[in-house]
Amino acid sequence: MSDTGLVPIKIELFGIGTLEGHIIRYITPLSADAIIDKLPFVLRGRFSFGTKKYWTLPGLEIYKGPNPKSTKIVEQGDIVYNPKTDEFIIIIENFQMPNKVNKIGKVSSNLELLLKARNGLNTKITKRQ
């Protein structure tokens, strides 16, 4: 684990490119640690229904519930975990989620690559060295 509470990650969109970001452990430690323990993982991503506001990777199977810092308001580049639907989500534009989510990190580069993705695209999340 990282001493600073920041765990650098790489998000690979197969055939499109790579995003870089980090998981911030001190915001929601239980959700963040559960996701870090699952790394690396590959899931099929998709956009939110009807819009391109966020890229979601359903079926993470960690089931960590909301915490006191959970929020509905998310910002562009946020990485969040939705405990209600068990989804790892990358936010593409600012908006309000339908239920509270746990913010777990931030994308630091190439966020615009997500707009080139198609539903069902394999997405791999790994730790960066």
Residue 50 pLDDT: 73
Residue 65 pLDDT: 78
Across the chain, the runs of DSSP E, i.e. the strands, are 6-13, 17-24, 41-47, 54-58, 71-74, 78-82, 87-91, 95-109, 121-127
Query: Do the beta carbons of residue 113 and residue 19 sit within 8 Å?
Result: yes
Q: pLDDT grade, residue 4 (50/70/90)?
A: low
Residue 37 lies in a domain: yes
Q: Name 112's Cβ contacts closer than 8 Å, sequence gap at least 6.
A: none
Residue 1 lies in a domain: no
C-alpha span between 100 and 89 (Å, rounded): 13
Q: What is the pLDDT of residues 26-78, one digit of tens each?
A: 988 888 999 999 999 999 999 987 778 999 999 998 887 778 889 999 999 99
C-alpha span between 112 and 58 (Å, rounded): 21
What pTM was computed for the model? Answer: 0.92
Q: What's the one-letter identity of residue 8?
A: P
At residue 125, does pLDDT exceed 90?
yes
In which domain, by residue range, is 111 found? 6-127
Residue 67 lies in a domain: yes
Residue 111 lies in a domain: yes
Residue 61 lies in a domain: yes
Structure tokens at 76: 């562009």
Number of domains in the chain: 1
What is the domain-level CATH number for residue 62? 2.40.100.20
Residue 3 pLDDT: 57
Residue 51 pLDDT: 79
